[in-house]
Every structure is written in structure tokens, then in C-alpha cells.
Amino acid sequence: MNRRNFMLGAAGLGAAVVGGGLLARPSANGQPYDEYFRVLNEELKKNGPMRPCLVIDLDRLDHNIDQVVQTVKAPKHYRIVEKSLPSSALIDYVSKRAGTRRLMSFHQPFLNDDAVAFPDADILIGKPLPVRSAELFYKTLKGSFDPGRQLQWLIDTPEHLRQYLELAKGLGTRLRINVELDVGLHRGGVNNNQALGEILSLVAANPASLQFAGFMGYDPHAGMAVPSILGSHEELFHKGMAVYQGFADFTRDQFAEQWRQDLTLNAAGSPTYRMHQAETLSNDISVGTALLKPTHYDLDTLATHVPAVYIATPVLKAVGPIDLPALDGASRLFSWWDPNQRQTYFIYGGYWMAEYESPKGLQFNALFGHSTNQEIVNASPEVGLKVDDQVFFRPTQSEFVLLQFGDLVAVRGGKIVDYWAPMQG
């Protein structure tokens, strides 16, 4: 327990009580599971691992995949963001339903695994990896995946490209180079014609070692909630596409021999993929997290997507009203004041990057403090939780959380249908 929080909280409550109702007394927020979580709870209690687990709802995932497929139509292609769905089995499922073999990878160990799991994939690297990472990829590459045909390295500066050029010469191979553009996110990438010119000149001067393969312009800022004074989604999107167009025009004008029909002109990310329907420059659209819709993707641009991922964990202990160490009986003041502290549960694990989802009305107790072993949860009695029932959370993001729980639990129609290993490394 955090002693300072505890003292402050106790003092605050005392003041509220002494103030005789200056603060509005909280009303009970608890509600039992709805039908969806009632069914899932029964299934997990009967057939689940009875430890913290990551549940992926395949019916909901299908809905989200279909949203993407219906939006990203030829001549554009859908590229799966591998880091946001970090399980080969999950990626395989998505690629089959969406009919795409395009992946975006961000991590050398995952990249090597992709090359084995998806030997026919077309892979674009999503960030400029240190050249040593690239070297390690080639050293540990196994199977029939042919990087000379199937892989594009992402380059952001002439300096990085010079390092990759040396690598290519050392390996006696040709590297395909995709150039990161800054289309408004300002997370690096080329932001002026001079830098782009330097990169393209270097490529043009070394045809045996380097080949220009396209551009990548990631624009999530245009789909996230930003104060309207900074611009609407549309304004930020069009501004970004104007920048992208400027770099494309520069390349066509100044490096005509580098401009080919088969270039990968990658754009988007979950927050903006729908907006790219309205432009004709890009031909390759990245989407990952929108397929699972964790809470940070509750965006108006993703209104048609549904949450498809939950953390489920069993209640280990149901111990009644909040009873704080040292305060003992005096803790009753808290549960008297706040009906949402009349039940205390301790769950298996906790303190994840996640928000309470079901039953409704669960809350953390800051006076008691966090535990990654047995997190405290308070609620009003209406939630009706018992020992062994599951507490459900929605992760705030997917890329890290999916790696934390061992095998992912795939459910369909409220039944467990598969277990999928997360990526390693």
C-alpha cells in the first residue's frame, strides 16, 4: 500500500463526512454480467485455463477483418501490422480471411519467425532498424523466403542508407529500400526533398546493392482525437497526403528511372485506414490494432469496429467490505460512505495495461495499491461475483499486452475453439 495515498484518502474521506454532504455520496455502480460475459464466464470456468488469459473473440474479429476488406479494395492492398497481432496463428487467420500475404514487421526476431511461418509473404519493415538487426536477420534466416524479392527495409536518413549499403556489399546481395516519409506525425522520416534526393541518388548510384521499392507514410495523428483547434481529421489527413504527393512528384520528376509501377506506396494505420479510400496515391494500407480494438482505439474513425480482445482472470478471494491494513474496523467508514467499496475481491494477477469491462462497476482501490500477483478490486454487491468467476478487462493496446499471457484463447459463439501461441523474442 502507498502510505501517502492512504493518508490523503483517509483525510479526504474524513473531510467529506465532517463537511456533512459537501461531496455527493457515490451511488452503487455495480451490475451483473450481461449475457455475453455470462456465457464467457461459464465457458472459462468449465474449460478455460483458470489463470489470467487473453481471449480473442473470433466472431468479433471476423467482423473487424470484413470491415477492412470492404474498405481496402483494389488497386489498394491490405497489409497486416504484425506487431499489433503478435501470434503467427492469429496472423495466419487474418491473412486467410482477408486474402492478403502482406505483412508489416517491426522486430528482428518476429521477422525471422515470419519468414519461416509465411515463406510466401511480402514484408515491409515498419521502422528503420539498426543495421546490425538487419545483419542478424540474414544470419539467422531459414527456409525459402527470398528477401531479395519479398522484403523491403525501411530507411529514414542517408546515414542509415549508407550503413545498409555496406551491409548489402558485405552480403553480396541487393536490398530493397522503402523510404519513411514524415507526413505530419513528426516521428522521424524524410521531411525535405534534399534528404530524399540524397537517398535516391545513393540508390541510383548502387544498382547492384540497392533498389528503390517505395514509400511509407504513417499518419495516425489524423485519426486520433486532437483538439479541434489543431485541425479536423480531414484537414490533417489532406495535409499529410499533400506532403506524400509532393515527395512522389519530386521522385517522378528528378528520379524518373526510379519510379516504377510496382512501387509499394504504403500509408495509414488503424486510425486513418478508412480515410484512404478517398485518395488515389497510396496502394498499400496497413492495419493491425483495429482488428482487436483495445480501448485506445475507441475512435470515431473506427466506430464500425467492435472490441474483440479481453483479459479474463479468476476471482481468488471475495472478502466483503474494504478492510484496510492498520485501519482495520475503521475502514467501515469507506464502505459506509461508498457502496462501491462494499465488496472486495482479490483476483489472479493484475495491474495490466487494461480497463475493467465486466461485470460493470468494478474499481481499483488506490489506498490499498496495485499488485501484479493479487490485485484488489472493489465493487457494490450488485456485481454478484463469486470466487472462480472471471473478471474481464479490455486491454488499452494490443502489441505488448498480447505477449503477456501465454497462449491466446480463441473463442467462437462463447466456446473455446483454439489456443494460439504468441510470438517470442
Ligand X SMILES: Cc1ncc(COP(=O)(O)O)c(C=O)c1O
Interacting residue ranges for ligand X, rule: CB under 6 A? 81, 84, 104, 126, 216, 218, 269-270, 286-290
Q: How far is the CB of 245 from ligand X (least distance, A)?
A: 19
Q: Write out the DSSP string of 148-175.
A: HHHEEEEE-SHHHHHHHHHHHHHHT--E
Cα–Cα distance between 281 and 240 in angstroms, integer?
A: 12
Cα–Cα distance between 219 and 312 in angstroms, integer?
A: 33
Nearer to ligand X, 270 or 390 (CB): 270
Nearer to ligand X, 107 or 342 (CB): 107
Cell of 7: 493518508
Say whether 109 sits in a helix, a strand or coil: helix
Cell of 168: 548489402
- 327: exposed, middle or buried (Cβ count in 10 Å: 0-12, 13-18, 19+): middle
With CB atoms as reference, the residue minimizing the distance to ligand X is 288
* Nearest Cα to Cα of residue 385 among 129, 72, 38: 38
Nearer to ligand X, 158 or 189 (CB): 189
Bond from prior residue into 359 cis (ω within 30 degrees of 0) = yes
Cell of 378: 472493489
Q: How far is the CB of 269 from ligand X (least distance, A)?
A: 3
Q: How far is the CB of 151 from ligand X (least distance, A)?
A: 15
Q: How far is the CB of 158 from ligand X (least distance, A)?
A: 20
Nearer to ligand X, 199 or 379 (CB): 199
Nearer to ligand X, 77 or 342 (CB): 77
Q: How far is the CB of 126 from ligand X (least distance, A)?
A: 4
Q: How far is the CB of 146 from ligand X (least distance, A)?
A: 23
Nearer to ligand X, 41 or 286 (CB): 286
Q: How far is the CB of 287 from ligand X (least distance, A)?
A: 5
Nearer to ligand X, 298 or 382 (CB): 298
Strands (E), 239-374: 264-267, 284-287, 309-320, 343-347, 354-358
Nearer to ligand X, 310 or 345 (CB): 310
Residue 31: other Cβ atoms inside 10 A: 15
Q: How far is the CB of 243 from ligand X (least distance, A)?
A: 15
- Helix, strand, coil in percent for the chain, rounding step 5: 40, 20, 35
Please, are residues 212 and 258 in contact by the beta-carbon 8 Å criterion? yes
